[in-house]
Structure 1
Amino acid sequence: MIEVADGVYAIRHEELDLTTGLVVGDEQCLVIDTPGDHVQGAALADKIMTVTDKPWQVVYTHNHFDHWYGTGPFMPCEVWANENFRFDPEERMTWVQRYLDDGKPGLATAMEESELVTPTRTFTAEAEIDLGGRKVVLRHFGPAHSFCDTVIEVPDTRSVFAGDLVEHPHYIEDSFGDGDVTRWPAALEALLALDPVVVVPGHGDPVDAEFVAGQREVLIAGWPSAR
């Protein structure tokens, strides 16, 4: 667990090099994404309880399995996502088979057994969550990596959780997702306009604004029409 700012944490996971997050306020905390199955989700919940015993809410950065299938152990709680969030049942079947083919039956079984928790609260373009003494802002900048990308801003620390809009190192070149890659650079431009000091990606270690700007250029180079 990496404390990127006061009460703001990036939590690293071995599987898929995933990065989840935690923001702690005076009264509540916000969990940003959960891993890809209930076993990993329970481990994350246990880790968070070593940091805080405050009640939590959960927010999904997008609808790809590795960012929300592990929410079951956190229930009951409010679960936030962009209004375009949708469950794709084929994704679960695809990844169960992939884990079996890769000789990882434990991960396949855990995924099959996981209770999938869809959002209880949705928003269109922007929403605020009051954690008590700390405000967190959820923002949707349009389709990019997915059609429901959510950026989580913690204004008092100038830290931002980007989900898979940003990945470190440049996995982004191989993970165009199912959104609209031509609008991805614009989403990163909007993220940069928040003037973040630290950006927590969906995979990999935390980065700075300069890294995000470089990733935007990678996308533009691959899709010149996105400039």
Structure 2
Amino acid sequence: MLRFEIQQILLAIATFLFCNMASASEDIADKYPESMLYNKPVEVIPNVWSAIGATAPPDYDNTGHNNNLSFIVTGDGVVVINGGAAYKLAKALHNEIVKITNQPVKLVINENGQGHAMLGNSYWAEQGVPILAHIDAANEFKDRGYMLLENMRRYNLEKAEGTFVTAPTETFEQRRVINMGKFRIEVLHLGPAHGPGDTQVWLPDEELVIAGDIAFHERMLPLFEDTIAKDWIETWDAGFEALDATYVIPGHGHPTNMDQVRRYTRDYLVYLRAQIGEHIDNGGDLAEAYYIDQTAFEGLDTYEELATKNAGRVYEQMEWE
């Protein structure tokens, strides 16, 4: 009974927090001008914090902070989730952490092999902090790290200073359990989703998942060349949904719940495959596929940039299924 009452209190706190956060908008250039961070970190539930990134593409104004940079204050050290897009951005996050706690950062977890998850490893490595990533994410970054660095330098200009390619110091394949302070932290790779080595950080006692890019909220997800929509849906149904999380910190967008991220991630992928499947059945070609009806999702940020690209990717995947 006590555990149920505590969960209800935490749910009420989180609901209040989520409802009172400003709506995401890719039109807001920077919501925390005194810091390299796009947003000041907020406490999602007790001792779990997240600096919510912009829902726009990475650019100079948001310093590449267009994903969520989270951290857990365990009582025996801090665990950071995501290295950040640049050395200075990671340092800015650390500056906020030391305002909140005098506990040292003991681990950084990269949620995937993308630049905004790993380029900030350069700062954390200089602090002597171990860095953990899935083996596939580490290999992705090994292959593409210097290209990602050059891309970041082009938009971040002097804000990129100090950043260098730094690989994770540790890797895992399916699951790594970390018991630190008051927290049991399960670092998971549930299967193929948005990109190689997608990683989820699950706090079973708190029923909270720091989802990484398996889950999107408030902005349209992008499908990369190696993103297979069918596999993403299967990973969601077989693994992510089974967590039955009460709280979700998605890879992009404000903290929310499973219903919301399901709507904007899994359900979008299912819808897109259904629309493309019908288009193929009717003899439609790739040129026409770009313009299938996606207006049900046009309220999402990055819709204009991504909707047609996503449709083309799914057509190419489904054409020979």
TM-score by length of 1: 0.87
Which ranges of structure 1 fall in alignment gaps of 5 or more residues?
Answer: none
Q: Indicate the residue corresponding to 2:184 in structure 1.
A: 135
Letter in 1 for 2:115: F
Residue in structure 1 matching 2:89, options 40, 54, 57: 40
How much does 1:177 deviate? 6.5
Secondary structure in 2 matching 1:171:
coil
Q: Is the radius of gyration larger for structure 1 or structure 2?
A: 2
Q: Indicate the residue corresponding to 1:82 in structure 2.
A: 134
Given that 2:219 and 2:253 are in contact with CA atoms closer than 8 Å, whether structure 1 keeps it comes out as no
Q: Indicate the residue corresponding to 1:55 in structure 2.
A: 104
Q: Indicate the residue corresponding to 2:158 in structure 1.
A: 106
How much does 1:148 deviate? 0.4
Q: Indicate the residue corresponding to 1:217 in structure 2.
A: 267
Return closer, same or farther for 1:158/1:178 CA change in 2, 3 Å cut-off: same
Instruction: Summarize deviations over 1:4-41 as a string: whole Å, max 9, x none.
Output: 11211121245253211111212122100022111111
Residue in structure 2 matching 1:187, options 229, 235, 240: 235
Cα distance in 2 between the residues matched to 1:36 and 1:29: 20
Cα distance in 1 between the residues matched to 2:200 and 2:230: 18
Q: Indicate the residue corresponding to 1:9 in structure 2.
A: 49
Paired residues in the alignment total 217
Mapping for residues 136-215 of structure 1, pairs under 5 Å: 136-172=185-221, 174-176=222-224, 178-189=226-237, 190-214=239-263, 215=265
Letter in 2 for 1:222: L
Given that 1:158 and 1:198 are in contact with CA atoms closer than 8 Å, whether structure 2 keeps it comes out as yes
Letter in 1 for 2:147: E
Please say which of residues 162-171 and 144-153 is displaced more in the overlay: 162-171
Letter in 2 for 1:78: P
How much does 1:184 deviate? 0.9
Cα distance in 1 between the residues matched to 2:226 and 2:152: 16
Instruction: Summarize deviations over 1:61-113 as a string: whole Å, max 9, x none.
Output: 0010011211233231111111112211323223433x1xxxx5334x43xx4
Instruction: Summarize deviations over 1:38-64 as a string: whole Å, max 9, x none.
Output: 111110111111112222210010010
Aligned-CA RMSD value: 2.0
Cα distance in 1 between the residues matched to 2:164 and 2:149: 12
Q: Which runs of 4+ in 1 moved over 6 A?
A: none
- Select the structure that is richer in helix: 2
Residue in structure 2 matching 1:18, options 54, 61, 67: 67
Q: Indicate the residue corresponding to 1:92 in structure 2.
A: 149
- Select the structure that is richer in strand: 1
